[in-house]
Amino acid sequence: MARNKFNVDEELEAEFDMTHLKRIMVFVKPYQKSIYITLFVILLANVATMLGPYLTKVVIDTAIPQKDMTLLAWLGVAFVASVIVTGLCMWYRIGAITRIGQDILKDMRFSIFEHLQKLPFAYFDSRPHGKILIRVVNYINTLSDLLSNGLINLISDILSVVVTLAFMFAIDVKMTLYSLILIPVLFVIVMVIKNAQRRAYQQLSNKQSNLNAYIHESIAGIKVTQSFSRETENHEIFTEVSDAYRESWMKAVKIQFLLWPGVQNIAVITTCLIYFVGIKGLGVEVSTGTLVAFVGYVGNFWNPVINIGNFYNSLITATAYLERIFETMDVEPDIIDAPNARQMPTIKGNVRFDNVYFRYEEGKNILKGISFDVKAGESIALVGPTGAGKTTVINLLSRFYDINEGEISVDGENIAEVKLRSLREQMGVMLQDTFIFSGTILENIRYGKLDATEEEVIAAAKVVRAHDFISALKDGYHAEVKERGSTLSAGQRQLISFARALLADPKILILDEATSSIDTQTEMLLQEGLEKLLEGRTSFIIAHRLSTIKNSSRIFYIDNGRIQESGSHDELMAKKGYYYQLYQSQFDMLQAL
H-assigned helices in 464-512: 467-472, 490-504
Tell me if residue 297 falls in helix, strand or coil.
Answer: helix
- Looking at residue 453, its amino acid is T
Higher pLDDT, 573 or 185: 573
Contacts of 45 (CB under 8 A, 6+ apart): 85, 86, 89, 90, 93
Q: What is the pLDDT of residues 433-456, one digit of tens each?
A: 677 887 889 988 888 788 889 999
Instruction: For residues 48 and 83, give the distance between their C-alpha atoms in angstroms, rounded to a whole number.
Output: 7
Comma-separated ranges of CATH 3.40.50.300 domains in the chain: 349-426+509-514+539-593
| pLDDT given at position 42 | 81
Q: What is the pLDDT of residues 320-368, one digit of tens each?
A: 677 778 878 888 887 888 888 999 999 999 999 999 999 876 678 889 9
| pLDDT given at position 241 | 86
Share above pLDDT 70 across residues of the chain, in percent, rounded to a whole number: 85
CATH of domain 349-426+509-514+539-593: 3.40.50.300
Q: Is the overall model pTM greater than 0.85, yes or no?
A: no
| pLDDT given at position 357 | 94
Indicate the pLDDT class of residue 13, thresholds 50, 70 and 90: very low
| 541, pLDDT greater than 80 | yes
CATH of domain 2-329: 1.20.1560.10
Comma-separated ranges of CATH 1.20.1560.10 domains in the chain: 2-329
Q: What are phi and psi of 500, to 5 degrees?
A: -60, -45
Tell me if residue 221 falls in helix, strand or coil.
Answer: coil
Instruction: For residues 1 and 301, give the distance between their C-alpha atoms in angstroms, rounded to a whole number.
Output: 53
Residue 191 CA, chain-centre distance (Å), reads 32
| pLDDT given at position 519 | 64
Environment class of residue 361 by beta-carbon count within 10 Å: exposed (0-12), middle (13-18) or buried (19+)?
Answer: exposed
| 4, pLDDT greater than 60 | no
95's enclosing H/E stretch is helix 69-118
Mean of all residue pLDDT scores within the chain: 80
